[in-house]
Chains A and B, each alone.
Chain A
Amino acid sequence: MANNLGLTVKPVCDITPEEERRVRAWIDTPEYKEKNFARQALVVNPAHACQPLGAELCAHGFEGTLPFVHGSQGCASYYRSTLNRHFREPAPAVCSAMSEDGAVFGGQNNLHEGLENACALYKPKMVAVFTSCMPEIIGDDLSAFIKNARQKGLLPKDVPSPYANTPSFNGSHVHGYDAMLAAILETLTEGRKVEGRCTGKLNFIAGFDANTGNYREYKRIFEAFGIPYTFLADISESFDSPLDGTYRLYPGGTPLEEAADSINGKATLSVAPYATTRTFTWVKESYSGEHVSMPMPMGIGKTDAFLLKLSELFDKPVPAALKAERGRAVDAMTDSHQYIHGKRFAVYGDSDYLVGYVSFLLEMGAKPVHVLCSKGSKKLEKELDGLLGASPYGKEGKVYMNKDLWHLRSLLVTDPVDALIGDTHGKFAARDAKVPLFRFGFPIFDRVNRHRYPLVGYQGVINMVTEICNKFIDLKDDTSDDRSFEMMR
């Protein structure tokens, strides 16, 4: 029967232009901002996704690895299409396609059938299993399920199958990445620690980073130093593979043997202190050699610290080529400082990225005014406050933890800025505030090739300076009247 809500039948009544104008003006007011910030339950335009997305990204970073989503099939399609859209690359992954009967009987049958089919069709060297909501709620015992699969011969003996619990009602994509990475490393390195053995290599952990250019930049730096390395979860080939007429299901990733031997490394370095806490804690307990966790090398200061750390760990001087590169990056900054000095910025993003943006902006004399994190910790808040407080350009900066992009919109319209740094999802807020958006984060669905331009290292500094300053110059050209439209800028 219709009208189950028992509402009175009314005539169709369209929203009038007057009402639209009134509310449009109202949502830009401080009064609205106050109501907006008083929200307790409703989340509007969040800037974070759920754990399994990160787990899938991580799994793609290993040689011959098939990501396996244990849960409803729609979840798998969502993660895959998100990665497809951001990288404009394939993202092959399978799922156990649980449905109503799974809710009643548990997901073991689906998982087993899925493993058997996936191994036959896609011949993976490793299957990385992670969960979406359903098995987490009904309490599936992945450890037992996978053990049983192996006993039944559904999983080939030589195919490792790490698994991670990645419930979507906890943490974000960043935490799912961390959980999967820890699970993969724990599985691959099991029984591989050899007393007295040292690979002589650096184990490198980037955390959830969907910029393939960053991966290539890190490698270039290690190679310039002559430091042998194992990149733990290397997605650079998986999501930036050449087009040559052949589709490769597994075009790249960290070789499994190398990952297994990483436990005997000379040093393990994470540049994702917020995004790989779990992995790093475990690495500290289990891995040989030194363990270092430090901020992502974004901006000059943090890149300097990164290179000095590499120099110290491997007892090698910073190569002359990188020193020259530093000079070029500083040159680029001073050449263009006038276009960015004093400009007010709003920034949002994942924790490690956020620290990077703020450090870089302060170095340029720009003012990070609104610093917003959709999913962050007290520790992050403290670090950001510390960064802002230590710089004359950070005095107006305020950190907003666990807020969404509708909060951000209120900030942008009530306390205006000159630009926003974020990802594609920030485009509506940026448009309403009539400011440019710099897409340095994840995901980027509406511009091409951004993920190929590194943001880390000195090269990253040059890229960010170029993009930001040229945009401000474009704006000046676009908005100046004929008399002020001139050759020089």
Chain B
Amino acid sequence: MSGTVKKVDGITKESTQAMIDRTLEAYPEKGRKKRAPHLAPNDPASGSACVRSNRKTVPGVMSARGCAYAGAKGVVWGPIRDMVHVSHGPVGCGWYSWGTRRNLMSGVNGVSSFAMQFTSDFQEKDIVYGGDKKLAVLLREAKELFPLAKGISVLSECPVGLIGDDINAVAKQMSKELDLPIIPCNCEGFRGVSQSLGHHISNDTIRDYVIETREFSEPETPYDIALIGEYNIGGDAWSTKPLLEECGFNVKATWTGDGQMEHIAATHKVKLNVIHCYRSMNYMCKVMEEKYGVPWIELNFFGPTKIKESLRKLAERFDDRIKENVEKVIARYEPRMQEVIEEVRPRLEGKKVMLYVGGLRPRHTVGAYEDLGMTVVGSGYEFAHSDDYDRTAPEMPDATVIYDDASEYELEQFVHDLKPDLVASGIKEKYLFQKMGLPFRQMHSWDYSGPYHGYKGFPIFARDIDMAINSPTWRLVKSPF
């Protein structure tokens, strides 16, 4: 963001390219050709993507990617707390994604919020005869057993699309019968190349079935905003929402962490959409801008530097009252943040970290690591698009390696070469690197910790990173015999 190009000792465009070439040597020719454009040294000055992205996963390479259903259930729809989310199809998809993303919810489970697994549990006969009738029965049962649910999402798994079921027709008919929003979401796992299409499809269903169906009953104010792309992982929204309220905003809806269906449905009435996870929800921000004239702004709540920058950027859109509030809020929290930094920075100064996460954090967390005195020496995404890599280029130091949809083999080779002090990625990568004796933090789930967002989150983030890198257990890895 600063415009100055960051450098890392020993990393040059040539050294990074040589590392990439060595790694690619192991691939058969076809695989090598496909993978090569996805790996490149960063060029911050260009301000644009240095790698190709959002392409089909190369089979057999051990990609970390999930599917469209994962993007719909796990990311966009699943966190809405007061709806029943039906994993429509066989039992597995819903079971694997049950509670594993850590999008926390308020309310009473099974009564007013539903951190549960609802499925139509397709059997062979449903594949042969179709599942539409079963779906209708299931929807009636859900309404009867969970009467306070504000709506039901029907999230299609692979078989539904393949056998030609018409969940849209069933949803329409049953919405009328039950007088309840029933949202059909054709997010079969085989669609698209990653979770990303699932986000997009889910955004589209919100556009088509949800937005505009509710209106806030209290009078509008100039400070009405919505927090978009905040999923309340480990309680993140319980840090960011109060922070924005402290600045004087009315946060009318949260998309979708700890979210409420009806608040989401009335979001077209807010004055500004504040988006955190651009990748998964930029679509609806653009729709609301075009259709209802609601502008949007991208913010970053990781680490005091970015939080301060973000809050001031946000205040710029509002009057002096907000500007003053924001300065007061910054002044209130900065000393505590400095204390945290003073405590842990001496133990983390100069440590190197490699990132590999979904579609946002590989750029959004760079500043937070830098606040702790660390350097990010490699970054990449599972399912980002070109516009994400454009935004990544200026955040990352010059010539550091950027990887898109990295295979486990590639990550392993890069780690061997770069010898980072910490790898921050997902559960599938975690134990591989820990077996190497390398400290690791899961950056999808905050490794069962959190929140990491906002001023409430940074001390926890700092503690966790310090703990990961400096745990005395790492010193026991090498056996004396």
Contacts and interface: CB of A to CB of B under 8 A. Distances in A.
A157 interface: no
B59 A77 contact: no
A480 interface: no
A2 B163 contact: no
Contacts of B100: 81, 85, 445
Contacts of A35: 144-145
A196 interface: no
A143 interface: no
B211 A2 contact: yes
B323 interface: no
A248 B435 contact: yes
B383 to A, nearest CB: 11
Contact of B190 (A44, A100, A116, A118): A100
Contact of B60 (A20, A117, A246, A428): A117
B215 A11 contact: yes
A487 interface: no
B119 A120 contact: no
A52 B92 contact: yes
A394 interface: no
A409 B116 CA distance: 12
A91 interface: yes
Interface in B57-107: 57-70, 82, 86, 89-100, 107
Contacts of A24: 108, 111
A85 B447 CA distance: 11
Interface stretch (B367-375, B405-413, B454-462): B405-413
Interface residues of B, number: 116
Given A43-B120, A75-B67, A90-B432, A133 B159 contact: yes
B291 to A, nearest CB: 8
Contacts of B118: 42-44
B297 interface: no
Contact of B96 (A6, A81, A99, A409): A81
B260 to A, nearest CB: 7
Nearest to A88: B431
A105 interface: no
A248 to B, nearest CB: 7
Nearest to B94: A46
B477 interface: yes
B190 A72 contact: yes
B127 A78 contact: no
Contact of B208 (A4, A10, A15): A4
B471 interface: no
A484 B209 CA distance: 60
Contacts of B86: 42
Contact of B407 (A50, A121, A428): A121
A82 to B, nearest CB: 6
Nearest to A80: B428
B176 to A, nearest CB: 8
B214 interface: yes
A78 B477 contact: no
A194 interface: no
Contacts of B159: 133-134, 137, 169
Contacts of A159: none
Contact of A116 (B60, B115, B433): B60
A125 B11 CA distance: 37
A309 to B, nearest CB: 35
A409 B412 CA distance: 44
Given A92-B62, A103-B190, A5 B121 contact: no
B217 interface: yes
A32 B111 CA distance: 12
A73 B65 contact: yes
A352 B338 CA distance: 56
A50 B92 contact: yes
A32 B163 CA distance: 35
Contacts of B145: 32, 35-36, 39, 42, 44
Interface stretch (B25-33, B224-232, B304-312, B339-347): B25-33
B470 interface: no
Contact of A10 (B95, B214, B408): B214
Given A14-B260, A90-B431, A103-B162, A74 B141 contact: no
A43 B141 CA distance: 10
B141 A42 contact: yes
B158 A134 contact: yes
A42 B69 CA distance: 19
Contacts of A80: 428
A114 B60 contact: yes
A117 B58 contact: yes
B90 A50 contact: yes
A68 B60 CA distance: 8
Contacts of A103: 161-162, 190
Interface stretch (B239-247, B261-269, B314-322): B261-269
A12 interface: yes
Q: Which of A20, A23, A45, A77: most chain B CB closer than 10 A?
A: A77
A110 interface: yes
Nearest to B96: A78
Given A35-B144, A245-B436, A133 B260 contact: no
Given A74-B65, A93-B62, A49 B193 contact: no
Contacts of A49: 91-92, 95-96
Contacts of A2: 207-213
Interface in B109-155: 109-112, 115-124, 126-127, 134-135, 137-138, 141-142, 144-145, 147-148, 150
Interface string A232-257: 00000000010111111000000000
A130 B159 CA distance: 17
B31 A120 contact: yes
B59 A117 contact: yes
B148 A19 contact: yes
Contacts of B191: 99-100
Contacts of B217: 11-13
A479 interface: no
A40 B190 contact: no
A68 B59 CA distance: 10
Interface in A100-136: 100, 102-103, 110-111, 113-118, 120-122, 132-134
A214 interface: no
A53 interface: yes
Nearest to A120: B28
B418 interface: no
Contacts of B407: 121
Contact of A74 (B66, B112, B123, B161): B66
A82 B172 contact: no
A39 B263 CA distance: 31
B142 to A, nearest CB: 6
B56 A138 contact: no
Interface in A222-277: 241, 243-248
Interface of A: 1-7, 9-15, 19-20, 23-24, 27, 32, 35-36, 39-46, 48-50, 52-53, 68, 71-75, 77-82, 84-85, 88-100, 102-103, 110-111, 113-118, 120-122, 132-134, 137-138, 167-170, 172, 241, 243-248, 406, 409, 425, 428, 432, 445
6 contacts: A12-B266, A43-B120, A81-B427, A97-B59, A118-B62, A169-B123
Interface of B: 26-28, 30-31, 56-70, 82, 86, 89-100, 107-112, 115-124, 126-127, 134-135, 137-138, 141-142, 144-145, 147-148, 150, 157-159, 161-163, 171-172, 175-176, 179, 181-182, 189-193, 195, 207-217, 260, 262-263, 265-266, 407-409, 412, 426-428, 430-437, 477-479
Per CB-CB distance, the 10 closest pairs between chain A and chain B, nearest first, are A74-B67, A50-B92, A114-B60, A114-B59, A117-B60, A78-B96, A118-B60, A168-B90, A2-B212, A41-B138
Given A75-B67, A95-B63, A247-B432, 18 more contacts: A2-B207, A2-B212, A3-B213, A4-B209, A6-B176, A12-B216, A14-B260, A15-B112, A45-B116, A50-B92, A74-B68, A92-B432, A94-B62, A121-B62, A134-B159, A137-B163, A243-B437, A428-B109
